[in-house]
Structure 1
Amino acid sequence: MSHPAYLELYEQGVLQKRAAVARERLASCTLCPLACRADRLNGEAGECRIGREVIVASYGPHFGEEDVLRGWRGSGTVFFSGCNLRCVYCQNYDISQFAGGYAVDAAQLAEIFLEVQREGCHNLNLVTPSHVVAQILDALAIAVPRGLRLPIVYNTSGYDSVAALRLLDGVVDIYMPDVKYSDSAIGQQYSGIPHYWEVVRPALREMHRQVGDLRIERGLAMRGLLIRHLVLPGRLAGSQEALRFIAEDISRNAWINLMDQYHPSYRAYDYPELARRITTDEYAEVVAYARSLGLHRGIPLDTRR
């Protein structure tokens, strides 16, 4: 089993330099596509609701992720509070929108990473990391010389800047974006962000350029791109266009989890079109379309739920 690429970056001093670059960008924050320019370095909260220190909601082994991530000892999730999206149906809204949790500095975050490893998890799964890239890099620069060796999973909404992703080149082993919409107007309406589709496409291309298709060893994901897509009621996610982009511009060997577990949460009941679960037929339609494009990895054969 190969060692994570970030070990070599640390030995070369590259990881530390990237952490310094990202930290400087916090002074007028442009690390995510919102580019709110808050002085987060001095504690001002950005659009993500987070300032200099990250807020961790929880961490530890998680068995609700994909089989190739959770394995038999769990995926080592670290749930970061705050978010650069405002999804009206967010199922973790107490974390993402109200920033529940406790603040930690870089040394404390590094210790959390090492604790996840000590608990025997298969990977370090960074959940909602897009707005705390600088803090993650700072913590890794501390944790790596202390023995961190887990593959890193970047578990994101897909609303990531290419500039920030390039700071993570060779650091992240598994990119796991959730491709939410293929229509930016829908993204604005339900997630309160501009240009989602224009942002997520180059982000996916950059992720795939860095890590390629998902590589699995002994049933565990080791490196590559693992894409999630949550099917929404009434075709609101634009699933067909999203899948067509993945097949034609990313890879027909892309590993995709077509998620069928949407249920109304947070403010979804304020939107009649979101106030219901998806139907079996809606999900089956998306699965069939994916297979018609030649997408097959992760795609279910049986859509009965």
Structure 2
Amino acid sequence: MKKEKNMTENIADKEMSECKLCPRNCKKNRKNKEKGYCLMTDELCVARAALHMWEEPCISGEEGSGAVFFSGCTLRCVFCQNRNIAAAQTGKIISIDRLADIFLELQEKGANNINLVTPTHFVVQIAQAIKKARRNGLIIPIVYNTGSYENIETLKLLDGLIDIYLPDMKYMDSSLSLKYSNAKDYFDVASKALDEMFKQVGKPVFDKRGIMKRGMIVRHLILPGMTYDSKNVIKYLYETFKDDIYISIMNQYTPLKQVEKYPEINRKVTDKEYDEVVDYAIELGVVNGFIQEGETASESFIPEFDCEGV
């Protein structure tokens, strides 16, 4: 164990001294308290750790998913619903030991899994916390909930630690990813990242209750007026992975105040737009999927990032 710990610490020193954990490759010395593109130093910062009921049914179940929301973000999309934590405006600095304890506390509360939300820039510390928590009795699956703007080398640090990948595939059109996420290369990066994620976890596995124990669910959030790109995304996912993954088609886009300067997306997705994309997925042959019904585009579905459970 001591050898493993030393290896992990060496990786942490290297990555935090010249950070290249995400495709921004900002090379900031986060160990020396410089802030990376993610707006974070090497100090773990968590904004919320609580049971979360609003994920896909096989993730939340009736008991809830043990969601740990990390502060900062490598994408910071202009329409982000979790804008306060993405912009590092809230959160509490904690130790790796405390993070491991949080995982165990969520398990004690009955969580179906540990759900790491926007974790990329803290992967090295998270890996250490997972290993410690497992040595101390953590047995529930670990979910990696990401925008998919990931370096393959960073994902490889998680091989054997993550049970379920819950990535986005936001765009195929590079003009959209540049405008709304400042990432012209988003699709190229994300498609390679999804390949690595699937390589690690493989086909879906569920328990008797229908709760996912292993596998990958790829989310796609439909943007107003962008159904053409949504269809391209769904087609790519289905042709690449067939029924070996689940595709979650989301209509919960919520136009918050910060998108007023982007009038073309300053509205909700219409029922017609959403149905058009869902119907297209069905026509393609998508069987393993999730759709959203009812009023999901609402700020009431955005949790309070008040450091609960941290």
Shared fold, TM over 0.5: yes
Q: Following TM superposition, by how much is the alpha carbon of 1:83 offset from its aligned partner in structure 2, in angstroms?
A: 0.2
**Contact 2:227–2:273 (CA under 8 A) maintained in structure 1:** no
Structure 2 match to 1:256? 247
**Contact 2:170–2:220 (CA under 8 A) maintained in structure 1:** yes
Question: Could you tell me which of 205, 211, 225 is aligned with 1:215?
Answer: 205
Structure 2 match to 1:160? 150
What TM-score, normalized to structure 1?
0.90
Structure 1 match to 2:282? 291
Structure 2 match to 1:146? 136
What TM-score, normalized to structure 2?
0.89
Aligned length in residues? 294
Q: Following TM superposition, by how much is the alpha carbon of 1:252 offset from its aligned partner in structure 2, in angstroms?
A: 3.3
Q: Following TM superposition, by how much is the alpha carbon of 1:142 offset from its aligned partner in structure 2, in angstroms?
A: 2.4
Structure 2 match to 1:179? 169
State the alpha-carbon separation in 2 of the partners of residues 273 and 228 from structure 1.
22
1:291 alignment partner, SS class: helix
**Contact 1:40–1:50 (CA under 8 A) maintained in structure 2:** yes
2:260 alignment partner, SS class: helix
Question: Could you tell me which of 269, 274, 279 is aligned with 2:270?
Answer: 279
Structure 2 match to 1:6? none
Q: After TM superposition, what 4+ stretches of structure 1 lie above 6 angstroms from structure 2?
A: 302-305
Q: Following TM superposition, by how much is the alpha carbon of 1:68 offset from its aligned partner in structure 2, in angstroms?
A: 0.5
Unaligned runs of 5+ in 2: 296-310
Structure 1 match to 2:46? 56
Alignment partner of 1:244 is 2:235: yes
Q: Following TM superposition, by how much is the alpha carbon of 1:254 offset from its aligned partner in structure 2, in angstroms?
A: 2.0
Alignment partner of 1:77 is 2:67: yes
Structure 1 match to 2:226? 235
Question: Could you tell me which of 102, 117, 120 is aligned with 2:92?
Answer: 102
Give the partner amino acid of 2:161.
Answer: V
Structure 1, 260-269 or 220-229: larger mean CA deviation: 260-269
Unaligned runs of 5+ in 1: 1-10
2:218 alignment partner, SS class: strand
2:123 alignment partner, SS class: helix
Alignment partner of 1:92 is 2:82: yes
Structure 2 match to 1:8? none
Q: Following TM superposition, by how much is the alpha carbon of 1:71 offset from its aligned partner in structure 2, in angstroms?
A: 1.4
Q: 1:296 to 1:304 in 2, by over 3 A?
A: farther
Q: 1:114 to 1:16 in 2, by over 3 A?
A: farther
